[in-house]
Chains A and B, each alone.
Chain A
Amino acid sequence: MKAAFDHNYVRLIDGPNIKKGKNKYELALQIQEDIEKFRKTSGVSRLVTCWCGSTESFLKPEEVHSTPEKFEAGMKANHPSIAPSMLYAWASVTSGVPYANGSPNLSVDIPAIQKLAQKNDVAIAGKDFKTGQTLIKTVLAPAFKARMLGLDGWFSTNILGNRDGEVLEDPGSFKTKEESKLGALEYILQPELYPQLYGKMHHKVRINYYPPRGDNKEGWDNIDIFGWLGYPMQIKVDFLCRDSILAAPIVLDLVLFLDLAQRAGMRGIQEWLSFYFKSPMTAPGLYPEHDLFIQSMKLKNTLRWMMGEDLITHLGQEYYD
C-alpha cells in the first residue's frame, strides 16, 4: 500500500509510492481506509500494527501532542511537529487496532494518542526494538550495579550498512536514536543514588553508516569500570550481529502478545512488554525499567497474573520450613 511519507522527517531516503492529500489529517484518514479495506478483503477477525519503518527526525512532545482534539486540529493545519509515524499510530488506534512502535520515533508515545488508546480500549507498546547493543548493555550494566562496581565510562560505536544506517547519517534522525540509546544506562545505574560509582560516568554512542556490511552490524563497546579501592578495569565487547535477524522475532512476539492483551481487555500502555524496547513507555511519572531480567520477570508475572496463577517472587523460604 502507498505510504504516508514526508521527506522532511527522514531526509536521506525518498520513494515514489506515497500518498497524496491536502493535509496530514487526510493522509491519516487514507491510512484508516487502508486498514478497513484490508480488514474486509482479507477476512481477518483481528489486527495488530507494528511500525518497522525508518527513524524520523528528533521531536519532543509539545502542546499539539497533548490532547486528541489538539492533535486532530494540528493534523488539519499540517503542524510541523506531527510526523508520519504519528499518523499511522493515530489511524491504528482510532480503528481499534493495537500498535507497537519498533523505532525511537515518538509515534504512539504522545498523550493525545495514549488518551485515544484508553478511550477506545486499544493496547499500545513502544518504543524502539531492543535488539543488539542495547540488549547487551541492559544485561551488563545491571551486573555492575548489582555488585556495586563503578563505571568511569562506556563508549559504544557501531558500523552498519542497511537503510537504517543510511537514514541515521542524518543528524536529525541520529539525535532521535541517540536519545533512545543513551537513556538505558542512566536509568539502570541511578547515578543520583550512587554518585561515587556512577556520578562521573562518560557515556558516548556513535553510529556510522558503512555500506559494505549491509544488515550485518558490528557494535563495539569499551567499558571502563573500577573496583575495590577504585582500581580500574576494562571490558571490551565486539558484537557482530544481524540487525533484522534479531528484530524479526521481536516483531512476532509483540504482534502475538499485543493481540493477547487486546483480547484480555488490557488497554493503553502495555508496560509488561518493556522487555522488547530500548525506551519503554510508562505511565506518566514512572521511570522505565531497563534491566533485561526485571523486564523478563515483569513479562512472565503478567502472564501468570492474566491466567490466575501465583506470581513468582523467588523468595524460596518455604522450601526450608
Chain B
Amino acid sequence: MKKPGKIAPAKGKLGVLLPGMGAVSTTFMAGVELVRKGESNPVGSLTQLGTIRLGKRTEGRTPSIKSFVPLSELNDLVFAGWDIFNDNAYESAANAGVLNLQDLPKVKTFL
C-alpha cells in the first residue's frame, strides 16, 4: 500500500461542474451560498460539521474535519452546469420547488 504523498494546498478557486441543473444541483448551490452569507447551516455535511477523533480516547483530540484535512473553503467554490432546459439556475430552483419563499429570494441574484 502506497503512503500518500504530500497534499498540495487548496490554493485558488475550485470549479464545480454539474451535468444536470435540476432540484439537486440548484439546492446544493443555493445552500452553499446561504451558508456563505451566514444565513443558514450546512446540516448533513460531514466536511462542514463533522469532527474526527485522533489518538487515544484519553488524549481529548477531536478537531473538526475541515481543520484536520486541507479542504477547499466554501468561498472558493464557483459553479457551472449543463442542462437540457434553457432555464437559468434560479428558474430551475423555483421550478423544483424545494426551497421555500424565505430562502429563494436570498439567492436569486447569485443563481
Contacts and interface: CB of A to CB of B under 8 A. Distances in A.
Interface in B62-82: 65, 68-72, 77-78, 80-82
A264 B5 contact: yes
Given A44-B14, A46-B14, A249-B44, A306 B7 contact: yes
A246 B98 CA distance: 11
A17 B65 CA distance: 40
Nearest to B23: A244
Contact of B70 (A1, A85, A260, A312): A260
A163 B23 CA distance: 8
A309 interface: yes
Nearest to B8: A263
A48 B12 contact: no
Contact of A45 (B14, B22, B81, B86): B14
Nearest to B77: A255
A300 B25 CA distance: 26
B65 A244 contact: no
Interface in A208-261: 214-215, 242-253, 255-257, 259-260
A54 interface: yes
A51 B72 contact: no
A251 B25 contact: yes
Nearest to B49: A249
A312 B10 CA distance: 26
Contacts of A264: 4-5, 7-8
B91 interface: no
A4 B14 contact: no
Interface string B36-63: 0000001111111000111111100000
Given A242-B98, A245-B98, A305-B4, A16 B28 contact: no
Interface residues of B, number: 57
Contact of A304 (B14, B17, B54): B54
A269 B17 CA distance: 19
Given A255-B77, A263-B70, A319 B45 contact: no
A282 to B, nearest CB: 16
A252 B45 contact: yes
Contacts of B80: 1, 34, 38, 42
Given A50-B17, A248-B44, A263-B8, A215 B82 contact: no
Given A256-B71, A319-B57, A247 B28 contact: yes
A35 interface: yes
B106 interface: no
Contact of B52 (A18, A164, A266, A303): A303
Contact of A39 (B9, B15, B56): B15
Contact of B71 (A3, A251, A260): A260
A49 interface: yes
Contact of B98 (A215, A303, A307): A215
A42 B15 contact: yes
Contacts of A35: 17
Given A5-B84, A35-B17, A259-B14, 8 more contacts: A54-B20, A163-B22, A163-B23, A214-B96, A252-B45, A307-B68, A312-B53, A318-B56
Interface of B: 4-5, 7-25, 27-28, 31-32, 42-48, 52-58, 65, 68-72, 77-78, 80-86, 96-98
28 contacts: A17-B83, A18-B84, A39-B15, A42-B13, A47-B17, A48-B15, A51-B20, A52-B19, A52-B21, A52-B22, A88-B19, A102-B24, A215-B98, A242-B98, A248-B28, A251-B28, A253-B46, A253-B47, A256-B71, A260-B7, A260-B70, A264-B4, A264-B5, A300-B52, A304-B54, A306-B7, A310-B55, A312-B53
Interface of A: 1-5, 13-18, 31, 34-35, 38-39, 42-54, 85, 88, 92, 97, 102, 129, 162-164, 214-215, 242-253, 255-257, 259-260, 263-266, 275, 299-300, 303-307, 309-310, 312, 316, 318-319
